[in-house]
Amino acid sequence: MRDVSIIGIGQIEVGEHWDVSLRDLGARALLAALADAGIDRPDALYVGNMLSGTLGSQEQLATLIADWSGLRGIEALKVEAACASGAAALRVGVMAVAGGIHEIVAVLGVEKMTDLDGEEATAALMTAADAEYEGIHGTSFISLNALLMRRYMEDMGVPQEAFAGFPINAHANAANNPNAMFRQPITRDTYSRAPMIADPINLFDSAPICDGAAAVILCPTERAREFSSRPVRIAASAVATDSVALHDRREPLFLLAVQASALKAYRQAGIGPEEIDLFELHDAFSIIAALSLEACGFAPRGEGTRLAADGQIGPRGRLPICTMGGLKARGHPVGATGIYQVVEATLQLRGLAGANQVPGARWAMTQNIGGVGGTAITHILEGQG
């Protein structure tokens, strides 16, 4: 198996792009990444996207974006794993290069969620859950996460305010990210006064509906210096799954797939959680941030929120997370999110993260989750000095 590196990155500002279509959003991020790597024509394009069929009545999306980017003719495929579609596309790209199938691969994550009203976007997101046994009961994706958060608070004796540290950190970091959707810092007071959207989840515990696109270019590590003076090595790429429905799990408060994908990734990279310098985790909801820290070995069970409360998750803390705003404040254009995480981690490892730079960062972990932990995809990246 060949070692794989990232040689180019591109991203579009996350937000409500009413004047830009899905295909143009995708093409712009892709062309930016190709330009960053100095590549005209990759061998293949893998596109992570969840909702183009549901919200945009558009499939064959990868083929369309390849054509719209001047790449008509190349291998182009869409990859779907709900909110983890971006990282799933990266996983396919890594397999293609590592397996010697392709030399230069482009991976794009793209999502357009604001063309329809919020109700339709909310219904579309629910397709990540079990339609016959969760959706039919009038459950929304937010209420599934609320079920988890309520039981967690009860079992672990954790009050709602304990979760405030996650959105506060995310918004503080997004303030320094020109590609983030929400660039206003928030305070503990803002958090405690926020309206409930699905008790106990308040407005700041949940990531926004938005548009976005981000892309990376991959090649074998042995060739990376031909294209980039600061390549970033993909030291691990690991996928694990759990039941789609929460009710099909023996212990809903422990995200088994998250743990399994992290353990596989640590093994591949030959490091443990203590060596990770920053962690772009999947904070679609504050409860998922806490459960991810616990499942990945950064906090004992029931103590995920304590890391946030103690200020250890800031750019200069013990374990910086969501260093450019995370899903909460950079935004969560679902199928694009996994690639934004990798683009941001690459900026950190290149030393180009500006005010949010994690000093001396060498190892970055990114983790993209589909549904309420049904699919978990972990990548570990290593900077090359």
Query: Residues with catalytic annotation?
Result: 83, 332
Where is 217: in which H helix or E strand? strand 212-220
Cβ 25 vs Cβ 215: under 8 Å: no
Q: Tell me which stretch binds other proteins (CB under 8 A): 20-28, 122-130, 284-292, 300-308.
A: 122-130
Question: Out of 11, 49, 140, 305, which residue is the one contacting other proteins (CB under 8 A)?
Answer: 140
Task: Say whether 108 sits in a helix, a strand or coil.
Answer: strand
Instruction: Confirm or reject binding of residue 243 to other proteins (CB under 8 A).
Output: yes
Report the alpha-carbon distance of residue 174 to residue 159 in Å, rounded.
26
Instruction: Confirm or reject binding of residue 113 to other proteins (CB under 8 A).
Output: no
Q: Tell me which stretch binds other proteins (CB under 8 A): 12-20, 74-82, 167-175, 194-202.
A: 194-202
Taking the complex as a whole, the smallest distance from the CB of residue 95 to other proteins amounts, in Å, to 26
Instruction: Confirm or reject binding of residue 29 to other proteins (CB under 8 A).
Output: no
Instruction: Confirm or reject binding of residue 245 to other proteins (CB under 8 A).
Output: yes
Q: Tell me which stretch binds other proteins (CB under 8 A): 64-72, 105-113, 137-145, 185-193.
A: 137-145
Taking the complex as a whole, the smallest distance from the CB of residue 124 to other proteins amounts, in Å, to 11
Taking the complex as a whole, the smallest distance from the CB of residue 3 to other proteins amounts, in Å, to 35
Report the alpha-carbon distance of residue 363 to residue 349 in Å, rounded.
8
Report the alpha-carbon distance of residue 11 to residue 5 in Å, rounded.
18
Instruction: Confirm or reject binding of residue 146 to other proteins (CB under 8 A).
Output: yes
Instruction: Confirm or reject binding of residue 2 to other proteins (CB under 8 A).
Output: no
Q: Tell me which stretch binds other proteins (CB under 8 A): 30-38, 66-74, 115-123, 281-289.
A: 115-123
DSSP class of 208: P
Instruction: Confirm or reject binding of residue 122 to other proteins (CB under 8 A).
Output: yes
Instruction: Confirm or reject binding of residue 123 to other proteins (CB under 8 A).
Output: yes
Half-sphere exposure of 203 (CA within 13 A, CB side): 9
- Nearer CB in complex with other proteins: 280/294: 294
- Look up residue 221 and give its two tokens: 């590590």
- Nearer CB in complex with other proteins: 245/271: 245
Instruction: Confirm or reject binding of residue 209 to other proteins (CB under 8 A).
Output: no
Residue matched to tokens 């390549």: 231
DSSP class of 321: B
Cβ 62 vs Cβ 249: under 8 Å: no
Taking the complex as a whole, the smallest distance from the CB of residue 164 to other proteins amounts, in Å, to 19
Instruction: Confirm or reject binding of residue 256 to other proteins (CB under 8 A).
Output: no
Report the alpha-carbon distance of residue 268 to residue 88 in Å, rounded.
17
Residues 6 or more apart in contact with residue 28 via CB below 8 angstroms: 10, 12, 20, 213
Taking the complex as a whole, the smallest distance from the CB of residue 143 to other proteins amounts, in Å, to 5
User: Residue 17 phi/psi, 5° resolution?
Assistant: -95, 75
Side chain identity at residue 271, one-letter code: I
Residues 6 or more apart in contact with residue 154 via CB below 8 angstroms: none
32 closest CA partner among 249, 381, 346, 367: 346
- Nearer CB in complex with other proteins: 25/158: 158
- Nearer CB in complex with other proteins: 201/281: 201
- Nearer CB in complex with other proteins: 147/239: 147
- Nearer CB in complex with other proteins: 67/120: 120
- Look up residue 378 and give its two tokens: 């972990």
* Interface contacts to other proteins, rule CB under 8 A: 119, 122-123, 126, 132-134, 136-140, 143, 146-148, 150-151, 154, 198-201, 243, 245-249, 252
